[in-house]
Amino acid sequence: MDSQSNERPPVKACHVCQGARIYYLFSTSDYRVVRCDDCGLVFLNPQPSDNELARIYNANYFLGSDSEEGRHVVGEIKQATARLYLSEIRRYHGPENGRLLEVGCGDGDFLVLAEADGWQVTGVEYSAAACEKARLRLKNGEVRCGKLQQAGMPAEQFDLCVISDVLAHIRSPLDFLREIHRLLKPGGTLFVATPSIDSWSARFLRQKWMEFKAEHLTYFDRQTLQTALFKSGFHNVIVQPGWKILNFDYIQKHFERFPVPAITPALNFAARILPKRVQLRHRRMVASGIMVFSQKSEQRPQPVLSVIVPAYNEAKTFAALMDALLRKDLPGLLMEIIVVESNSADGTRQIALKYQNHPRVKLILEDQPRGKGHAVRAALEAASGDYVLIQDADLEYDLEDYDALLEQLVAGRGAFVLGSRHGGRNVMKMRQFTGHHSLSLFFNLGHRFFTTLINVLFRQRLRDPFTMFKVFRRDCLYGLEFECNRFDFDFELLIKLIRKGYRPIELPVNYRSRSFKEGKKVRMFRDPLTWLKALARLRFAKIDPMGVVGQTRAAEPVENSAKAGNPKP
């Protein structure tokens, strides 16, 4: 044993955002659990040494039980879960078979089923004992023993890659995802099943969460995993609750091995009184993880920002805004500008037409005004950028703020940034209508009330959820459907992104409030009842990205299904 393999390697920068602001949370079985303050990733730091990990992954690691009967039950449960994964992958990937790679294939439970389902399978497995077993069980499939990066496989040969309960074990998860990206064919599918720190069990059990263990080096959640995938070249991400097939017996044995106060004694008591057949019955449940589906995207030499400008009766400010946008230089980013002109009555259309042939401008002409939300949705369909920024044509916001907002996205600290109109030091800049003090008070009270309501309903700590200045990764929209046509679209967008698992980052921006005389079209709290109803609908409406993707795939010819790029509003 060399001394190096006894050393616990430190993590110097966050795996996802490269940030260095990493703070201690608590310790679990002699390991420090830390959190990146910038993106929220949780991980062990330092990581266990090679020797410590080797002791954990001994020959019995995959057995899951000490007795022959127990192993049989665990095997059945694993197979049922593998069957569930296969059918979910079908929904996302489509009906075509091809070459499948599973990294961390263990004894081959999943590969055996996938082979029977018509896939040409390859497995990679670190444990030599598990490799041997998997090889014996497969008909034509091959199993490579060792680490993925050392297998040295040629690029672009797989249609589908599966990593189930593997990513948390990897020392350098982004390098691992990039290697998978290299091995997949263009448009190929990646399926990830992994524990998620925003699952109900993690929130409920906190430091006693069953997934906190030495061999789990990184703890993703819906947001950090989507960012990790984005940064490794995957898009069209869909996150589903991590359904697993389990039974009572399995759960009770688990908590016997890893005791949790109150829960372990309660389960032990139930085990004594419940009939055996009830304890062994398979149940589909969400325990602690997520299933994530994504596709390999084409890497661009330079990322693109789509600036969306809805323009309706903005003749006074429109040209100034367009010229400022076209002058704006964003280091490292290209910019496309998408203008949606909604047949204004004040000559905005004539001004917009002057920009029609500019190589960086896409002009969409609407026959009639159907609301700002409708215009933005039309622009989103035409957008091709990696990032999207919605800029009102009235120059209420300051273009100088773009750089700071975008930097958050490019670094991977978040996927979705709100420009907050409250200044850095709690200066209330918003709605100070000169000479309308009672009006200001009314709006500010309404703003406070709805802000609190949103924070409570969606477990956020936002200060200004009603800002229209939003910047986000375009991929966030994948699988979402929008129906709001007016100013409520801003709100629908915010809430659907939060419900998809993104935590908005708020940054202060420069904002000049316009009085109603200057043409403010939104009367935010004019009708509080409508807003309350909209909130309730958005909170409880079913969000089913997989269903949306399924419909999109069904509607298009098979050869295009590999790039179901734009979400259909």
Alpha helices in 138-220 (DSSP H): 148-151, 173-183, 200-205
Helix axis angle for 528-540 and 437-457, nearest 10°, is 20
Q: CA-CA distance, 158 to 399, in Å (whole number)?
A: 44
Report the helix count and the strand count for the chain, using DSSP H and E: 19, 18
Least distance to Zn ion from the beta carbon of 45, Å? Answer: 12
Q: Which of 170, 468 has the CB closer to Zn ion? A: 170
Structure tokens at 120: 């040409």
At residue 54, what is the residue type? A
Query: What H or E segment, with its residue span, contains residue 296?
Result: strand 283-296
Structure tokens at 390: 């919605």
Contact 104, 163 (CB under 8 A): yes
Structure tokens at 45: 């730091």
Q: Which of 36, 168 has the CB closer to Zn ion? A: 36
Q: Which of 85, 472 has the CB closer to Zn ion? A: 472
Least distance to Zn ion from the beta carbon of 412, Å? Answer: 7
Q: Which of 36, 114 has the CB closer to Zn ion? A: 36
Residue partners of 523: CB distance under 8 A and separation at least 6: none
Q: CA-CA distance, 300 to 306, in Å (whole number)?
A: 15
What number of other Cβ atoms are within 10 A of residue 334's Cβ? 15
Contact 50, 8 (CB under 8 A): no
Contact 165, 106 (CB under 8 A): no
Structure tokens at 23: 């703070």
Least distance to Zn ion from the beta carbon of 46, Å? Answer: 17
Q: Which of 41, 325 has the CB closer to Zn ion? A: 41
Query: What H or E segment, with its residue span, contains residue 110?
Result: helix 109-116
Which residues make up the interface to Zn ion (CB under 5 A)?
14, 16-17, 19, 36, 38-39, 41
Residue 124, classed as helix, strand or coil, is strand
Q: Which of 168, 378 has the CB closer to Zn ion? A: 168
Q: In the chain, how long is the greatest CA-to-CA distance? A: 83
**Residue found by looking up tokens 């790039």 in the block:** 563
Q: CA-CA distance, 379 to 397, in Å (whole number)?
A: 19
Least distance to Zn ion from the beta carbon of 15, Å? Answer: 7
Least distance to Zn ion from the beta carbon of 370, Å? Answer: 41
Q: Which of 39, 505 has the CB closer to Zn ion? A: 39
Least distance to Zn ion from the beta carbon of 331, Å? Answer: 22
Q: Which of 223, 294 has the CB closer to Zn ion? A: 223
At residue 287, what is the residue type? A
Least distance to Zn ion from the beta carbon of 220, Å? Answer: 11
Least distance to Zn ion from the beta carbon of 402, Å? Answer: 22
Least distance to Zn ion from the beta carbon of 117, Å? Answer: 38
Q: Which of 18, 455 has the CB closer to Zn ion? A: 18
